[in-house]
Chain A
């Protein structure tokens, strides 16, 4: 179980590194609402 626990946490950390990030484009609340 310890191995699975360490592995699952490591996967989360790796996913944060590859998760999409905004690159400075302006985001308005209207755009946020439309996206949601």
Chain B
């Protein structure tokens, strides 16, 4: 155990706790945006996934994502049920912390990713179908893509794709899958003909704030050490979030005539998404540009989605799909070996090839996530209807799916 660094271990375990908090925070972020008859069901999506993927990850998810490589595509089953994943470090991934600390940090990423998708099918998905979908999606989409990008021997990692904390692995996979899910499930009943509005904006702002807090673990924790790189990632994360919130609020102010509180919250999340893949590779000036881009591009992406009449209920594609793509491309533009000596430079620092690699990684992950999500949903629909019946949707999912009510006053 002489290689274990207590500072690194403490920081990684604290970061895992911060990332864990993000999933219930997401439940509150989404919960405030739905009607009050669906708030419990929406929060339950996130809370249930925290429990489900915590077990899936230790049983087979971790070994599929990070186990010994098979052909660059998937990890082997050597670490099934955490066999061989103990208190000694694994130098391939994190040389100064117990292997289990690295494993549990990664677990929290695996947890939040499918939870992000739930915003697309909010207010209409059958709970049983959601359970099956989450388990299959985590196993067939998240685990392989995590291996491609982060696993030793993964084909995108070998190609040189840069993704510090999950722009492709977390946000593009979830954002694209959300769009596919919204298209397959169809629009909510009454959308366009009756008012469907957030029932508690304060809950959403609180959720966004807690997400921002947890994101320090997400990005700065991904340094896997408690040194300068973690501090740099922390600073650029906060900067990009703030800049994107200011930008989104400004764009929506000019577009709709008032500085939206919900807009500022969504903008902060968009900035956090966009800086995620770049957070270990860029300086603070680049973070400001990335935040500016996120606040503008994600806002426009959501307007386009609405114009196309796609009912991505809580704008998951616009924030995570578009924001993750912008972040991955921005990494190819702004990455600097002066920030991280282990990384390649990006286009503006004289290495245009990195941008090409980033675009290839985006295209591969978009295509894989879209096709697999479509197939998974269609297969589930053969056995369990994806949507609740009309009367259950009108009644609300809290009562129809969970036999509970969020508010009794």
Q: Which residues of A contact B (CB under 8 A)?
A: 1-2, 4-5, 8-9, 12, 15-16, 19-20, 22, 33, 35-36
Contact = CB atoms under 8 A, between A and B. Distances in A.
A2 B288 CA distance: 9
Interface in B195-253: 195, 197, 243, 246-247, 250, 253
Nearest to B289: A4
Contacts of B284: 5
A17 to B, nearest CB: 11
Interface residues of B, number: 21
Contacts of A4: 285, 288-289
A16 B288 CA distance: 18
Given A1-B289, A9-B243, 8 more contacts: A1-B334, A4-B285, A4-B289, A8-B243, A16-B253, A19-B259, A20-B253, A33-B197
A36 B285 contact: no
10 contacts: A1-B283, A1-B289, A4-B289, A12-B250, A15-B254, A16-B253, A20-B254, A20-B257, A20-B258, A33-B195
Chain A, interface SS category:
helix
B202 to A, nearest CB: 16
A35 B256 contact: yes
Give 9 nearest A-B pairs by CB, closest first.
A1-B285, A5-B288, A5-B285, A19-B253, A8-B292, A2-B285, A20-B257, A15-B250, A12-B250
Nearest to A18: B254
A1 B286 CA distance: 6
Nearest to B247: A12
Interface string B273-296: 000000000011110110010000
A1 B348 contact: yes
Nearest to A2: B285
Contact of A19 (B195, B254, B285, B286): B254
B250 A8 contact: no
Contacts of A12: 246-247, 250
Contacts, number: 43
A27 B254 CA distance: 18
A20 B284 CA distance: 31
Contacts of A5: 284-285, 288-289
B289 A8 contact: yes
Nearest to B295: A12
Contacts of A2: 285
Contacts of A9: 243, 288
A26 to B, nearest CB: 15
A8 B288 contact: yes
A16 B189 CA distance: 38
Contacts of A35: 256-257
A35 B256 CA distance: 8
A15 B197 CA distance: 28
A20 B197 CA distance: 24
A36 B197 contact: yes
Contacts of B258: 20, 22
A19 B246 CA distance: 13
Contacts of A20: 253-254, 257-258
B25 to A, nearest CB: 25
A9 B250 CA distance: 11
Nearest to A20: B257
B341 to A, nearest CB: 19
